[in-house]
Chains A and B, each alone.
Chain A
Amino acid sequence: MYGILNKLGIVKIILAILCALAFIIGIFSVFQIYVGGTDAISRVANWFMAQIGEFLLFIVIAATFILLKLTGKKNHPKIYFAIMIIGFLIAGLNSVPLLLTPVSISNANVEFNAGFGENWESTIPDDVKPFFMPSPFNIPQQFLGVPHKECQIIENVLYYEDPDEEVSLYFDVYMPKEPDENLPGNRSTIIKIHGGSWVAGDKSTGNMPVVNKYLAAQGYVVFDIQYGLRDTGSLGALAIITPENVIGNYTFIDMVNQIGIFTKLLENNYAAEYNANLESVYIMGGSAGGHLTCVTGFGYNEDYFNGTFSENINIKGIIPLYPPSSISWAGASGLLPGSPETDPELFDKYSPTANIDSNDPPCLIYQGTGDKLVDVSNSIEIKSRCDNVGVTCCNLLFPLAGHASDIFFNTNFGQVWLYYLERFLFLTQ
């Protein structure tokens, strides 16, 4: 027995098991990127797999070479070549989302050319360009990351309390470190609304804080806000970041009202306190936050929402990320009272597309084509409605990217998104 399982033999067996594990993770990743599923594990995997494919590429290649060495070409030639083919196939398929980055960039350029004219890049002054990313993608940033931008952060400012539901809502504000008139943001205001299926999630960790810091360093004043969530008893994977103080029995109506209350407080108090420019305000949010972004942004000047929002704020842009456009199911889940049949106007007004009209400001959408939670057809529908009424809308489609695929801001999706986001903000101020 000892002869077979000597010290070196045990090490080799452990190595082989670890390499096989790397293969299994690689295959799981390939399945999630190209096929996916609707179960809870697949939903979470959909967020990450396309983003970490390039890391799996190298991990699987290294594991393949270890297995090749362990097998030996002369000892087991058929197994040797089988491992080689399978290993490189898994690695190659995991690398496709990264290799398709030029397609993402090309898509974005087409959208910007259509939205802002062929010469949009030349309209950005030379003294502003140094503040922006010089290229949509670079490899070191992908693998090594980039340091956070420095800015001033004030956390947990209370803006709303609901004693009946025992709910209190807070916001964080991200501002430039020092006042600087030369910064491209010109203290324009960005209201950021987090995602989480309207039942989970949070500001800060749950809402891309690194992007908030990046934009604040460019001169924007970013308000990262909480809103009341619907208590369904189950928070899923986002339970870890969802605080108890935001969970009540809220509907879309309450959530939009709370955002409205924030806009009024912004006008009356916070704009002066944090030196935020109300002549240039953006609404931005992902997933459920993308839906609320659309309802707020496109509905801002609708008669239906009279009195809901501040009347002295000038919305310059609407930035939904992977927004769901259909909410016909909302009645069944308690997020709207009734049903589309019993109250068609209510369901219409709280859908992201119904309020789009020719007076609305430009819109920038982030959408992964591999999104299994919010299908790409949702963003296409919003884009189509905008096009029909003549509203500038750039729908940035990222091939094979899943839901929330901008979470890792330094990966290929996050880099390309940030490159066009900062330009959109500047061009529409």
Chain B
Amino acid sequence: MKLKKEQFKIYNFFILLINFITIILGIIYFTYPIYTILWDILGIIIIIAWFGTFGLVFINDLILIKTDKIGKKINHFCYYCLAFYVLAWIFLLINTGLLSIVHTADMAMFTIFGLITYIGFFGMALFGMYLAYLDIKYLENRGVWNLE
């Protein structure tokens, strides 16, 4: 059973939206690091966004015609996206480790921690959004997709 174009379009819009919400809530999280109910909402949203983006990469791999020029372009971007995800979690892991062992309130150190966290966290959301954008942009192109 082939995936319908309309279903794929809706899924892409969903990924676009959820990664956008992740960025907005992420900015609030980092700007006001005092607990609100938004933290719990952000927690659920980021898990959905991460797994959702994985799902989008997987679906792309199944339905992209990789011999097509645009198909090839999107396929390569999927590789970049996954490679960045690996890097991003390594960044977040480093941040977790270092934040736990340093004891000084050295601003430079906290800036570096913050920077790698921002790059990792917001980078993942931006990669997810751009992949969904590429899919939507080229969805009507013939010969790119193996859709119903």
Contact = CB atoms under 8 A, between A and B. Distances in A.
Interface stretch (B5-13, B80-88, B133-141): B80-88
A145 B96 contact: yes
B44 interface: yes
Contacts of A153: 103
Contacts of B86: 18, 22, 59, 62-63, 66
A147 interface: yes
Contacts of A138: 35, 39-40, 43
Q: Which of B44, B50, B89, B117 has the most CB of A within 10 A?
A: B89
Contacts of B103: 153, 172, 204-205, 209-210, 212-213
Interface string B1-44: 00000000000000000000000001001100101000110111
B18 to A, nearest CB: 15
Interface string B43-77: 11011001000100110011000000000000100
Contact of B82 (A66, A408, A409): A66
Contact of A210 (B44, B78, B100, B117): B100
Interface in A306-357: none
Interface in B80-137: 82-83, 85-86, 89-90, 92-93, 95-97, 99-103, 105, 110, 113, 117, 121
Interface residues of B, number: 42
Nearest to B35: A134
A148 B101 CA distance: 11
The contact size tier of chain A is: 35 or more
B24 to A, nearest CB: 13
Given A15-B79, A143-B46, A146-B33, A59 B90 contact: yes
A417 B53 CA distance: 32
Nearest to B103: A209
Q: Which of B29, B86, B110, B121 has the most CB of A within 10 A?
A: B86
Contacts of B44: 139
A147 B82 contact: no
A40 B29 CA distance: 39
Contacts, number: 117
Contacts of B92: 55, 143-144
Instruction: Provide the main secondary structure of the chain A interface.
Output: helix
Contacts of B61: 65, 68-69
Contacts of A73: 62
A61 interface: yes
B57 A140 contact: no
Contact of A140 (B42, B54, B58): B42
Contacts of B93: 52, 55
A259 B145 CA distance: 72
Given A52-B93, A69-B78, A143-B92, A408 B39 contact: no
A407 interface: yes
Contact of A15 (B33, B83, B89): B83
B39 to A, nearest CB: 5
B14 to A, nearest CB: 19
Contacts of A55: 89-90, 92-93, 96
Contact of A209 (B50, B85, B102, B113): B102
A73 B66 CA distance: 13
Nearest to A139: B43
A268 interface: no
A408 B29 CA distance: 20
Q: Which of A62, A69, A145, A150 has the most CB of B within 10 A?
A: A62
Nearest to A61: B54
Interchain residue pairs A-B with the least CB separation, the first 4: A139-B43, A209-B103, A62-B85, A55-B93
Interface of B: 26, 29-30, 33, 35, 39-40, 42-44, 46-47, 50, 54, 57-58, 61-62, 75, 78-79, 82-83, 85-86, 89-90, 92-93, 95-97, 99-103, 105, 110, 113, 117, 121
Given A62-B85, A145-B95, A145-B113, 13 more contacts: A55-B96, A59-B86, A65-B61, A69-B79, A138-B39, A140-B46, A142-B43, A144-B30, A144-B95, A147-B110, A148-B99, A148-B110, A210-B103
28 contacts: A15-B79, A22-B86, A55-B96, A58-B50, A58-B85, A59-B90, A62-B86, A63-B82, A65-B58, A68-B58, A69-B57, A133-B35, A134-B35, A139-B40, A140-B29, A140-B42, A141-B39, A144-B29, A147-B33, A148-B99, A205-B101, A210-B99, A210-B102, A210-B103, A212-B103, A408-B100, A409-B99, A410-B96
